Amino acid sequence: MVATTVAATDDTLIKRPNAFRRLMRRKGAIVGLVVIILFVLIALLAPLLAPYDPTKTNFLLVRKPPSAAHWLGTDEIGRDLLSRMIYGARASLQAGVISVMIAIAFGVPLGLMSGYAKGWVDSLMMRIVDALLACPFLILAIAMAAFLGPSLTNAMIAIGLTQTPIFIRLVRGQVLAVTVEDYVEAARALGNPHLRIAVRHVLPNIVAPVLVQATLAIATATLAEAALSFLGLGQQPPEPSWGSMLNVARQFISQAPWMAWWPGLAIATIVLAFNLLGDGLRDALDPKES
């Protein structure tokens, strides 16, 4: 507000603080963003950061607690947990973010089309979505991953496609609510083509719930990757992912609890970080927040 009042004396149409600047005023969002950037850096720089080869076994070091040599301890076949955590960040971040990007890439345009076009397009789409949502999320993801074949990429595609109907339904509902607003009718009265109305007048007004859903979906996707890895449909052993590490640790929870601590902590932290960022983004993108 202060910036715009100052601009008032200057007779040019300068820009007001943009969404990014507004985001940077929120502590929670900054914390979330910093954590995410940190995890991304760890994932990218894994070969430089990891002290050991994450897949190298050592039967003299089975299930050792944290020590000076192995900061986070070792797992059931003597692999260094720190190295596995660092490399595991790659799989988990990819599984979380890329699968949700796939879901958004399909879900948002389809939902927008369904809600905007209405009629038979909408009816058909909603029946398909109903059918997909009738299956439990994990079952569907497992079925799809099994169909595509076991690999991390296929697991991400399976998770993404399984989450798509949730986004279609969400976006479609929001679009229905927004298209009855007078400003959409005004946009039509001004002679905007349909595509432009959908993209410029409807879409920006439904971003907030999509973002919030996306942060939740990243959390779900990270956990879904863990489940798929557990079934051998995600990250293929011996390559690490937090989910598969957690699932293995489950069997040794009383003998070697540290095996479960680190992946559990990492998943919780990254999910929290995405939620904080999502919250901040929602507020920053809402023009009513100055």
Partner 1 sequence: MAEPILTVEGLVKHFPIKRGVLQRTVGHVRAVDGIDFSVAKGETLGLVGESGCGKSTTGRLVLRLIEPTRGRVTYDGREVFKLSGGEMRRLRRELQIVFQDPYASLNPTMTVGAMLREPLELHGIASGKAADERIRELLGLVGLAPYHALRYPHEFSGGQRQRLGIARALAVEPKVIIGDEPVSALDVSIRAQVINLMQDLQKRLGLSYVLIAHDLAVVKHIADRVAVMYLGKIVELAPTRTLFRRPRHPYTRALLNAIPAPDPRLKRPRALLQGDVPSPIDPPPGCRFHTRCAFAVERCKVEEPPLIADETGHATACHLWPQIADKVGVGVGEHRLPENPRLERLKAAFRPA
DSSP code per residue over the chain: -HHHHHHHHS-S-PPPP-HHHHHTT-HHHHHHHHHHHHHHHHHHTHHHH-SS-TT---TTSTTPPP-SSSTT-B-TT--BHHHHHHHHHHHHHHHHHHHHHHHHHHHHHHHHHHHHH-HHHHHHHHHHHHHHHHS-HHHHHHHHHHHH-SSHHHHHHHHHHHHHHHHHHHHHHHHHHHHTSHHHHHHHHTT--HHHIIIIIIGGGGHHHHHHHHHHHHHHHHHHHHHHHHTTSSSPTTS--HHHHHHHHGGGTTT-THHHHHHHHHHHHHHHHHHHHHHHHHHHH-TT--
Asked whether position 134 contacts partner 1 by CB under 8 A, the answer is no
Q: Contact with partner 1 (CB under 8 A): which of 69, 136, 181, 250?
A: 181
Asked whether position 7 contacts partner 1 by CB under 8 A, the answer is yes
* Closest separation in Å from C-beta 196 to partner 1: 8
Asked whether position 185 contacts partner 1 by CB under 8 A, the answer is yes
* Closest separation in Å from C-beta 288 to partner 1: 5
* Closest separation in Å from C-beta 7 to partner 1: 6
When the beta carbons of 99 and 174 are compared against partner 1, the nearer one is: 174
Q: Contact with partner 1 (CB under 8 A): which of 34, 105, 183, 251?
A: 183
By rule CB under 8 A, what string of x and - marks binding of each residue 251-290 to partner 1? ------------------------------------xx--
By rule CB under 8 A, what string of x and - marks binding of each residue 198-237 to partner 1? --xx--xx--------------------------------
Asked whether position 13 contacts partner 1 by CB under 8 A, the answer is yes
Interface residues with partner 1 (CB under 8 A) are 4, 7-8, 11-16, 181-183, 185-193, 200-201, 204-205, 287-288
